[in-house]
Amino acid sequence: MQKNETASVGIWSIFASFAKIGALLIGGGYAMLPLLEDELVRRKKWATSEEVADYFALAQLLPGVIAINTAMLAGNRLRGLRGNLAAAIGVVSVPFALIAAYAVAYSQMHAYPVVMRVLEGVRPAVAGMMLAMGWNMARKSAKGAWGIVFVAVVATVAVVWNPPIVLFILAAVAAGILWNACAARKGGAA
């Protein structure tokens, strides 16, 4: 689609298309690609398959939520800043409304003891699933003795001192850079 053709795309049309995508977006941002392809390429003919793939790829490189990033890139291509905002607001509008309704309903659930007992029973199951997921990730990630030591140190620091998550991320980046530098040095020397 040429730039002059995109100027005719209405802001409300962009909003409505992305609101529809947001309403159907179950399973996270990765579920968005087929919905984008269907809406933007097949139905509206606002973009080519290659452009949609580019939006999606670029969105993964940016910090933030993939679905919002993708919507903003596509909206910006269609109508600049206004299209960017229309697409971003559209893609979050339905999920936001549903989460807000759930939050209101959740606050009302405290009046029903049976619902609270059910939730009390679910919490340990969720904690167990999270622990199992963490264990599986640690098992798959900790390759070799140094990997096991790193996982143990990070887990100990997290449980004992509970520092901000940003410190963990920065430490992991630094450790990854150092690890790769040492491996490259070792490989180059051999």
Tokens for 149?
A: 């030591």
102 and 179 both lie in a single domain? no
Q: How many CB atoms lie within 10 A of CB 152?
A: 12
Q: Are residues 133 and 69 in the same domain?
A: no
Cα radius of gyration rounded to whole Å, the chain? 23
Same domain, 51 and 124: no
Query: And the tokens for 169?
Result: 């991320």
Domain count, the chain: 3
Biggest distance spanned by C-alpha atoms of the chain:
69
For the ranges 13-22, 45-54, 113-122, 136-145, which has the lowest average pLDDT?
136-145
Using CA atoms, how far apart are residues 188 and 77, in angstroms rounded to an integer? 45
Average pLDDT over residues 44-49: 94
For residues 30 and 63, state if they share a domain: yes
**136 and 146 in a common domain:** no
On whether the CB atoms of residues 37 and 3 are closer than 8 A, the answer is no
Q: Structure tokens of 29?
A: 């941002």
The proportion of the chain whose per-residue pLDDT surpasses 70, expressed as a percent, equals 94
Q: Are residues 19 and 50 in the same domain?
A: yes
Within this chain, do residues 22 and 82 fall inside the same structural domain, yes or no? yes
Q: Which domain covers residue 116, as residue numbers?
A: 112-141
Q: What is the mean pLDDT of residues 105-125?
A: 84
Q: What DSSP state is assigned to residue 45?
A: -
Same structural domain for residues 87 and 127? no
pLDDT at 190: 44
What integer pLDDT is reported at residue 147 of this predicted model?
80
Selected residue with higher pLDDT from 110 and 89: 89
Q: What is the mean pLDDT of residues 162-178?
A: 84
Overall average pLDDT of the 30-43 stretch: 89
Are 137 and 147 in contact, with CB atoms under 8 Å apart? no
CA distance 130 to 118: 19
Q: What is the mean pLDDT of residues 60-87?
A: 93
- Is 91 in the same domain as 125? no
User: Both 148 and 170 in a single domain?
Assistant: yes
**Mean of the pLDDT values across residues 10-37?**
88
When pLDDT is cut at 50, 70 and 90, the band that residue 1 belongs to is low
Tokens of 108: 């009302």
Domain match, 160 and 131 both: no
- The tokens describing 148, both together, are 């096991």
Pair (43, 131) in one structural domain: no
